Amino acid sequence: MKKIISRKNPLVKHILTLQEKSSERKKEKKFVVEGKREIMLALNAGYQLDMILFNSEIISIDYVQQLGKNNFSGQIIEVSAEVYSRIAYREKTEGIIAIGRWKDLKLENLKLSTNPLILIAENIEKPGNIGAMLRTADAAHADAFILANPITDIYNPNIIRSSVGGVFTVQIGVAQTQEIINWLRANKITLYSATLQNSFPYYKADYTGPVAIAVGSEAHGLQTPLREAAHKGIIIPMRGMLDSLNVSVSAAVVVFEAVRQRSINS
């Protein structure tokens, strides 16, 4: 088994570049994932992992080798504690990191149920908010999470980390806004857009049929096309001094209202 002990090893530099630069991830169609749960979720979701790196002072070789029984056929590399501290992204780490390959996240690859529930996020600036919405989509067992007009790639380490692996458990589509609108119409999915314009309380909407819920950036909200394409605009009434919630919180509130309505009608 290969072992890396130098922080100047080319592979170490390559991992750091993948972590830090979206352009490099897009060029190579690869990502870095860290942690036992996240790596196992990626494998269970059919992601191809090229290699796993581990530090034997933190995690046992026996555990790592067991991954070979879970759809992993890549290279296993041991790294020294010094090297691992260099490439570890988390403050609290589990001693294991992998390099994986992107999936094709086109809308036409999404497999929908007969009564789909979809969350759409447009122009979201903060990776942490995207990760939180992926957790919501997983918790609600939504059919898909669609990222419209992405500002960063979905495999940004901060998205993977903040989603606690939800990036691997939820079907994801990535596309431009008009492409998403056309796809929703083709699949006869009703769109509700979270917006201040021409809106009514979110809990009065009917989410029991095939439905998509769209939220926009906290700075600018949804763009005009998604607002105009919506069946209705929805709003969460504010009772305090502030005029809005964090976008990921807003998404969770509306998505779980949809879950509540569907559970009553099931």
Let me know whether 140 and 257 are in one domain.
yes
Let me know whether 139 and 162 are in one domain.
yes
Let me know whether 61 and 193 are in one domain.
no
Let me know whether 123 and 249 are in one domain.
yes
pLDDT for residue 68 = 63
Domain boundary among 101, 124, 144: 101
pLDDT for residue 91 = 64
8 Å CB contact between 4 and 12: yes
Q: What is the mean pLDDT of residues 3-9?
A: 95
Let me know whether 238 and 260 are in one domain.
yes
CATH of the domain at 34: 3.30.1330.30
Gyration radius from the chain CA atoms = 20
pLDDT for residue 67 = 76
pLDDT for residue 115 = 97
Domain count, the chain: 2
pLDDT for residue 198 = 73
Let me know whether 111 and 95 are in one domain.
no
- For residue 23, is pLDDT > 80? yes
- For residue 85, is pLDDT > 70? yes
Let me know whether 97 and 160 are in one domain.
no
Domain boundary among 101, 134, 169: 101
Q: What is the mean pLDDT of residues 204-228?
A: 93
**pLDDT tens-digit map of 101-153:** 999 999 999 999 999 999 999 999 999 999 999 999 999 999 999 999 999 99
- For residue 71, is pLDDT > 90? no
Boundaries of domain holding 25: 3-101
pLDDT for residue 203 = 96
In the predicted model, what is the mean pLDDT of the chain?
93
**pLDDT tens-digit map of 193-207:** 998 877 899 999 999
pLDDT for residue 36 = 92
Let me know whether 189 and 220 are in one domain.
yes
- For residue 258, is pLDDT > 90? yes
pLDDT for residue 242 = 80
Let me know whether 97 and 111 are in one domain.
no
Let me know whether 173 and 118 are in one domain.
yes
Looking at the chain, the whole-number percentage of residues with pLDDT higher than 90 is 84
Domain boundary among 85, 101, 117: 101
Let me know whether 93 and 45 are in one domain.
yes
CATH of the domain at 249: 3.40.1280.10
